[in-house]
């Protein structure tokens, strides 16, 4: 049987187990993700999925979903019979279809991070909250929405007791979102759970549609997502989750380390463990293991890797300056590229976005190494393609002042630079007397070219013709916003800007969404990495988090200095982050630090003392 070919005994057990909920609990590189793919193949091979039903697989990112889709297609399975995507992706489609039952309009859009931040600033100000920063407030509401409390009820109850303050700010946040027909990402899950809990006929429908449920990277789900899994899975008792507690790195976003135990208990899951690691040399696994063993609350696991690698597959290096570090990384990359490792099989990992890391970009440009960032680049003010995407939303929602304001704010500084004018969003509020709206902007009397450009843009959005092709919309929007494109493209990030634009265009042309609302929804949920074609031979530069689940021939982990790794968060979670980074390597692992970065003196990461360096490192300088 094709779906079982090449799998080991435990993997086969996982693929074959049916009619009971299961968890595959194992370390990195042991084939957890592969089990999900093979199991999908197995279910179809054995005709276990009734006609017109689908297998539902939940992945952590859209990129992972795409990869899995192509793997499953390669195994000869009709991809229309699989529903693959992230939690948000699934919830979005449930809400678009049935959200009106709980008063969520079908054409809602997602609030963007920038809009959310602005909105939070304004509600904190309006409610005189002075002792909480925007970020802390965002995390607070996020945690509430992700825990099992009935969020709406909680707000209603506490609002009565505290008229001014946090709860009223939270209430205003919700109200402003709803007024603009928007939801945030946490709402997507919360509302779906609410919907399914209150409408058993719908739940029945989904049980019927999805007799098998698979979840990758389960350790990073939060309580509300677990609740959704439980609801969807209670029909068929055919849920399979794969997880590794040592790779739980989203605690700051509400994922709970205890979620694996809760899953096992609530779903009465049968547990399968795997020990064979098919990805990395044993030396690298031993080093990673010597680090993660310093966490106390964890399940001990055995990991058996490849024994046959040369012992120079792990190098740890210290440098006087960050520039020297960057130069060493670049030279090393050139060297291993000459030895036959493709650029796209190499990744440079860092803990978090940091302006000081720009020297790596500069060094790569200087040494002519092609590269790309996963996700948005820290040194980009903003992507022009995002401006285009927000404009599409405005076409759907011409009265949304949150979107309109954020677009004007990104446009005007650029226009002003061009025309040396000093216009602000307020200028338009005055011109139209009051709350901004697209329709009102179409009626302004322009005072200069900039006003005229804004007016033309507003007219386009207000009078948008729904029969046009997406390509035409793309081109029209591009022309309208072109002035700011030119300014953006002048910068040294022109290459990436124009490529994101190209990719947006391609996405729009290829989109299967029938109307612009669906198109906007589709674009909203795409992580940037999703855009990038794997066929381009470029070195990846990424955070630890964005590299989750992926594997590379050579992995460089840079800027391993105290205060950066571990950052000042939960130390155990920081350790897991580095563990995830180290275990991405299929063959070579380079870890480095500098004693001077951003004009500051730095100490090597204290984690180096935990990794059994003497035993594993080939050279230490």
Site string for Mg ion, 86-125 (x = CB under 5 A): ----------------------------------------
Q: 282: which 2 tokens?
A: 């044993």
Q: Does 30 bind ligand ATP (CB under 6 A)?
A: yes
HEC secondary structure over 282-310: HHHHHHHHHHHCCCCCCCCCCCEEECCCC
Q: What is the DSSP string of 156-171?
A: HHHHHH-SSSHHHHHH
Give the number of C-alpha atoms closer than 13 A to the C-alpha of residue 278, restricted to the C-beta side.
11
Q: How far is CA 191 from CA 57, 215, 533, in A?
A: 20, 20, 34
Binds ligand ATP by CB under 6 A, chosen from 10, 31, 196, 407? 31
Strand partners, 182: 109
Binds ligand ATP by CB under 6 A, chosen from 3, 21, 22, 33? 33
Q: Does 7 bind ligand ATP (CB under 6 A)?
A: yes
Binds ligand ATP by CB under 6 A, chosen from 3, 28, 256, 546? 28
**Burial per residue of 597-607, b for 16 or more beta-carbon CB atoms within 10 angstroms, e otherwise:** beeeebebbeb
The answer to whether the annotation marks 28 as part of a ligand binding site is yes
Helix (H) or strand (E) holding 201: helix 200-209
Strand partners, 317: 592
Residue 72 CB, nearest approach to ligand ATP (Å): 13
Residue 38 CB, nearest approach to ligand ATP (Å): 9
The answer to whether the annotation marks 31 as part of a ligand binding site is yes
Q: Which partner, Mg ion, ligand ATP, none, binds residue 398 by CB below 5 to 8 Å per kind?
A: none
Q: Which partner, ligand ATP, Mg ion, none, binds residue 604 by CB below 5 to 8 Å per kind?
A: none
Site string for Mg ion, 549-568 (x = CB under 5 A): x-------------------
Strand partners, 388: none
Residue 298 CB, nearest approach to ligand ATP (Å): 15
Q: Which partner, ligand ATP, Mg ion, none, binds residue 59 by CB below 5 to 8 Å per kind?
A: none
Q: Give the burial class of 433: count Cβ atoms within 10 A of its Cβ; 0-12 exposed, 13-18 middle, 19 or more buried.
A: exposed
Q: Does 543 bind ligand ATP (CB under 6 A)?
A: no
* Alpha-carbon radius of gyration of the chain: 25
Residue 564 DSSP label? T
Binds ligand ATP by CB under 6 A, chosen from 10, 34, 67, 507? 34
Q: Which window, 24-32, 124-132, 329-337, 407-415, contacts ligand ATP (CB under 6 A)?
A: 24-32
Q: How far is CA 240 from CA 60, 129, 214, 258, 419, in A?
A: 15, 44, 5, 18, 59
- Residues 74 and 76: their CA atoms lie apart, in Å, by 5
Q: Which window, 1-9, 123-131, 193-201, 313-321, contacts ligand ATP (CB under 6 A)?
A: 1-9
Q: Does 38 bind Mg ion (CB under 5 A)?
A: no
Q: Which window, 31-39, 50-58, 192-200, 258-266, contacts ligand ATP (CB under 6 A)?
A: 31-39
Q: Which partner, Mg ion, ligand ATP, none, binds residue 427 by CB below 5 to 8 Å per kind?
A: none
Check: CB of residue 258 under 8 Å from CB of residue 297.
no
Q: Which window, 177-185, 274-282, 475-483, 541-549, contacts Mg ion (CB under 5 A)?
A: 541-549
Q: Does 549 bind ligand ATP (CB under 6 A)?
A: yes
The answer to whether the annotation marks 32 as part of a ligand binding site is yes
- Residues 379 and 377: their CA atoms lie apart, in Å, by 6
Residue 291 CB, nearest approach to ligand ATP (Å): 16
Binds Mg ion by CB under 5 A, chosen from 33, 115, 219, 391? 33
Check: CB of residue 589 under 8 Å from CB of residue 29.
no
Stretch 212-271 residues interacting with ligand ATP (CB under 6 A): 244, 247
The answer to whether the annotation marks 26 as part of a ligand binding site is yes
Check: CB of residue 23 under 8 Å from CB of residue 12.
no
Residue 64 CB, nearest approach to ligand ATP (Å): 9
Torsions phi, psi of 301, nearest 5? -135, 150
The answer to whether the annotation marks 30 as part of a ligand binding site is yes
Stretch 374-393 residues interacting with Mg ion (CB under 5 A): none
Rounded to 5°, angle at Cα 353 from 352 and 359 = 120
The residue (of 8 and 147) whose beta carbon lies closer to ligand ATP is 8
- Residues 147 and 75: their CA atoms lie apart, in Å, by 39
Secondary structure class of 217 (helix, strand, coil): coil
The answer to whether the annotation marks 33 as part of a ligand binding site is yes
Residue 75 CB, nearest approach to ligand ATP (Å): 13
Residue 247 CB, nearest approach to Mg ion (Å): 9
Chain residues that interact with Mg ion, rule: CB under 5 A = 32-33, 549
Contact positions toward ligand ATP, by CB under 6 A? 6-8, 11, 28-34, 244, 247, 278-279, 549, 551
List, as residue ranges, the binding site for ATP: 26-33
* Residue list for the binding site: 26-33
């Amino acid at each position: 049987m094709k779906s079982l070919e090449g799998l080991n005994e435990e993997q086969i057990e996982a693929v074959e187990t049916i009619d009971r909920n299961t968890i595959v609990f194992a370390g990195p590189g042991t084939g957890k993700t592969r089990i999900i793919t093979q199991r999908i193949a197995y279910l179809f091979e054995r005709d276990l999925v009734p006609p017109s039903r689908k297998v539902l697989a939940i992945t952590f990112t859209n990129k992972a979903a795409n990869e899995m889709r192509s793997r499953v297609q390669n195994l000869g399975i009709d991809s229309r019979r699989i529903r693959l995507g992230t939690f948000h992706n699934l919830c979005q489609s449930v809400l678009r279809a049935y959200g009106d039952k709980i008063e969520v309009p079908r054409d809602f859009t997602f609030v963007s991070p920038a809009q959310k931040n602005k909105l939070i600033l304004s509600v904190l100000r309006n409610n005189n909250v002075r002792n909480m920063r925007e970020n802390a407030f965002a995390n607070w509401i996020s945690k509430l929405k992700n825990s099992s409390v009935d969020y709406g009820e909680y707000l209603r109850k506490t609002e009565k007791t505290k008229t001014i303050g946090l709860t009223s700010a939270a209430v205003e946040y919700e109200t402003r979102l709803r007024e603009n027909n928007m939801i945030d990402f946490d709402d997507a899950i919360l509302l779906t759970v609410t919907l399914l809990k209150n409408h058993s006929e719908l739940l029945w429908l989904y049980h019927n549609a999805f007799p098998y449920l698979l979840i990758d990277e389960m350790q990073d789900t939060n309580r509300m997502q677990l609740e959704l899994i439980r609801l969807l899975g209670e029909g068929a008792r055919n849920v399979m989750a794969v997880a590794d507690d040592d790779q739980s790195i989203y605690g700051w976003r509400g994922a709970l380390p205890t979620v694996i135990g809760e899953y096992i208990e609530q779903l009465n899951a049968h547990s399968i463990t795997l020990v064979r690691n098919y990805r990395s040399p044993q030396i690298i696994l031993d080093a990673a293991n010597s680090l993660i063993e310093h966490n106390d609350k964890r399940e001990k696991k055995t990991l058996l890797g490849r024994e046959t690698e040369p012992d120079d597959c792990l190098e740890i290096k210290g440098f006087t300056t960050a520039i020297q570090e960057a130069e060493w990384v670049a030279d090393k990359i050139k060297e291993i590229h000459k030895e036959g490792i493709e650029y796209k099989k190499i990744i440079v990992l860092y803990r978090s976005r940091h302006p000081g890391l720009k020297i790596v970009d500069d060094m790569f440009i200087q040494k002519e190494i092609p590269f790309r960032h996963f996700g948005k680049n820290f040194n980009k003010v903003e992507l022009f393609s995002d401006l285009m995407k927000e404009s599409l939303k405005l076409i759907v929602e011409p009265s949304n002042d949150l979107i309109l304001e954020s677009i004007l704010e990104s446009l005007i500084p650029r226009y002003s630079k061009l025309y040396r004018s000093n216009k602000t969003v307020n200028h338009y509020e005055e011109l139209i007397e009051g709350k901004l709206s697209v329709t009102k902007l179409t009626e302004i009397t322009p005072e200069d070219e900039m006003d005229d450009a804004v007016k033309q843009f507003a007219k386009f959005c207000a009078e948008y013709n729904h029969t046009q092709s997406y390509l035409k919309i793309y081109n029209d929007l591009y022309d309208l916003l072109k002035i700011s494109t030119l300014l953006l493209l002048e910068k040294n990030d022109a290459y990436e800007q124009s490529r994101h634009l190209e990719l947006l265009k391609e996405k729009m042309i290829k989109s299967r969404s029938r109307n612009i609302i669906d198109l906007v929804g589709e674009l909203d949920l795409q992580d940037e990495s999703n855009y990038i074609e794997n066929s381009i031979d470029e070195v990846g530069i990424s955070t630890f988090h964005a590299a989750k689940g992926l594997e590379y021939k050579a992995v460089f982990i840079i800027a391993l200095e105290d205060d950066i790794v571990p950052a000042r968060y939960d130390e155990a979670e920081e350790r897991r982050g580095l563990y995830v980074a180290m275990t991405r390597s299929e063959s070579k692992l380079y870890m480095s630090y500098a004693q001077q970065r951003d004009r500051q003196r730095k100490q090597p990461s204290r984690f180096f003392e935990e990794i059994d360096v003497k035993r594993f490192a080939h050279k230490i300088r």
